Amino acid sequence: MADNAIEKILQYHFQDPALLEEALHADGSTPSLSKDKPREHGNKALAMIGDAVLRLVVVNDGIVGGNTRQSCHEICMAETSNTALSKVLCKWEMDRFVHLPGSLKGTVARTTGASTTEAIVAAVWIDSDHDFDTVHRVIHNLHIGAGCT
């Protein structure tokens, strides 16, 4: 099961597994349902949240760790880039669980991989009731932001 494998990697158990499932649906892989359910259009909305949370954690670690603002900016840009986040998804072999639109035929593109990683972080953020310590631990379990400390 994707849930169990990803939870082991993250070292986090979802109270609402539907959040993780949503995070694994790439844009275009789910039918557009209605304006009433705007998050059911793939993982893009979660990815926006995850992007912000990732940047918060990486910059916070850098500033608290005594790095300069410039250094924090450079680390943040490197650690949260589409290329880096897509590599995280592949490194942990979570790319095999991504639900893709039929046209992609099993190939997780760089931007799709990055969005999915961001969406997974957002799913933890929401599921943990916005617990900074929990999402911070999960981000470090994925080895994101290691250059900040």
How many CB atoms sit inside 10 A of residue 33's CB?
A: 11
Locate 97 and state its tokens.
């669980």
pLDDT in tens, 73-89: 999 999 999 999 999 99
Residue 122 contacts residue 47 (beta carbons within 8 Å) = yes
Locate 39 and state its tokens.
């998050």
Q: Which CATH number fits domain 2-31+42-148: 1.10.1520.10, 3.40.140.10, 3.40.50.720, 3.40.1380.20?
A: 1.10.1520.10
pLDDT of residue 34: 42
CA–CA dist 135, 54 (Å, integer): 9
CA–CA dist 129, 149 (Å, integer): 26
Model-level pTM?
0.90
Would you kindly state where each structural domain of the chain is located, as residue ranges? 2-31+42-148
Helix (H) or strand (E) holding 47: helix 44-64
Say which residue, 42 or 33, is predicted with more confidence.
42
pLDDT in tens, 88-143: 999 999 999 998 887 667 789 999 999 999 999 999 999 999 999 999 999 999 99
Pick the closest to residue 80 from 44, 56, 100, 112 (CA basis). Answer: 56
For the chain, the average pLDDT equals 89
